[in-house]
Structure 1
């Protein structure tokens, strides 16, 4: 049987890697998995798992990094009789390098697709932290707030919050 202290030692050594070149310039692609809470106003609210794929490009400016990306998430969320099938985002991000990590803010366009109520877009804003584990792999977390007003030209606004764990291969 593996002892909890052994597991903690392995995890701690994994995150205690030596300093890397810290160059964030380049393409990345990976996956993300997390949780989202959506509210329709007026209407129901629900929460559930989301997860999908991400890709983008970062440019290292010294102490600062800027970039753009795309996320596509599948969803396990229902708003009453309507299932939210997917959410995609077109993103801009900028952040400050802190050691092997990047503390960043992000914003852009968010689009929600449903099974029977149509689809529509709005905006999102948020932030996150990403850490280079090697020159070719990074992990991080992200918190986003989404807002889609007058969904599908109707009287319903949809807002939501998502929290996701992300892993990326960097090229």
Structure 2
């Protein structure tokens, strides 16, 4: 009986030992394929050349004072367009812009309705940024005492544009405008405007 039992145990051990061989040998682990990380987007810096035409819009705030009782403040907004030439570190250009305004001047019926500017620009090329000064011939339309009136004046200001890309810029500009004896009324007007600007170059 003991001999039969020992023989049976030995047979069972041999059978279990033979199982891996019958199954084709040891199973090797399958390596997971490596996944390469996605490439980061490449930022292309603006080329720093300010030469060319541009157009866009601006939104701002105006504050008007006068030698009489006329005065007030309010929002302005309009369109811009011009051309610049980059000479290296110096940039020169010409720009025209037109702002509609919502500025009441003291008593009801008095308002500054719009301002148009023809500007000469001279600036310093700082690569992606352009810092500039400007002088302008200015024309304004106003309503005084319920009567529409227009007059010409002059303006001067400072500004900065920053190139987000070769085709798009963001900027800010502050300008002072003067009108002597506006439309023959005997009243001198001055207006300060601050504008945020967006431009598209082409």
TM-score range, shorter chain: 0.7 to 0.9
Distance 1:93 1:76 in 2: 27
Aligned pair partner of 1:31 in 54, 57, 78:
57
Name the structure 2 match of 1:91: 119
In the alignment, is the contact (CA less than 8 A) between 2:129 and 2:160 conserved in 1? yes
Residue number in structure 2 paired with 1:70: 96
Separation in 1, partners of 2:113, 2:77: 11
Bigger RCO of structures 1 and 2 (CA < 8 A, at least 6 apart) = 1
> 1:110, CA displacement in angstroms?
1.1
Contact 2:117 2:138 in 1 (8 A): yes
Q: How far did residue 154 of structure 1 move?
A: 2.4
Partner of 1:11: none
Q: Is the 8 A contact 1:43 1:156 kept in 2?
A: no
- Aligned position for 1:130: 161
If the length of structure 2 is used for normalisation, what is the TM-score? 0.74
2:45–2:165 Cα contact (<8 Å) kept: no
Question: How big is the shift at 1:98?
Answer: 1.4
Is 1:82–1:117's contact at 8 Å kept on the other side of the alignment?
A: no
Q: Give me the whole-angstrom Cα distance separating, in 1, the residues matched to 2:127 and 2:84.
A: 17
* Residue of structure 2 equivalent to 1:49: 75
Task: Tell me, yes or no, if the aligned pair for 1:39 and 1:46 is still in contact at 8 Å.
Answer: yes
What SS class does the counterpart of residue 48 from structure 2 fall into? coil
Q: Partner of 1:118: helix, strand, or coil? A: strand
Q: Which runs of 5+ in 2 are unaligned?
A: 1-42
Q: Distance in 2 between matches of 1:26 and 1:102?
A: 14
Larger radius of gyration: 2
Query: Once the 2 structures are TM-superposed, how far is the Cα of residue 18 of structure 1 from its aligned partner?
Result: 5.4
Indicate the structure with greater strand content.
1
Partners of 2:78 and 2:168 lie apart in 1 by 17
Kindly tell me the number of residue pairs found equivalent between the two proteins.
Answer: 155
Query: Which secondary structure state, in structure 1, belongs to the residue aligned with residue 164 of structure 2?
Result: strand
* TM-score, length-scaled by structure 1: 0.87
SS in 1 for 2:183: helix
- 2: CA distance, partners of 1:21 / 1:141: 21
Backbone CA RMSD of aligned residues? 1.2
Instruction: Tell whether 2:176 aligns with 1:145.
Output: yes
**Structure 1 runs of 4+ with >6 Å offset:** none
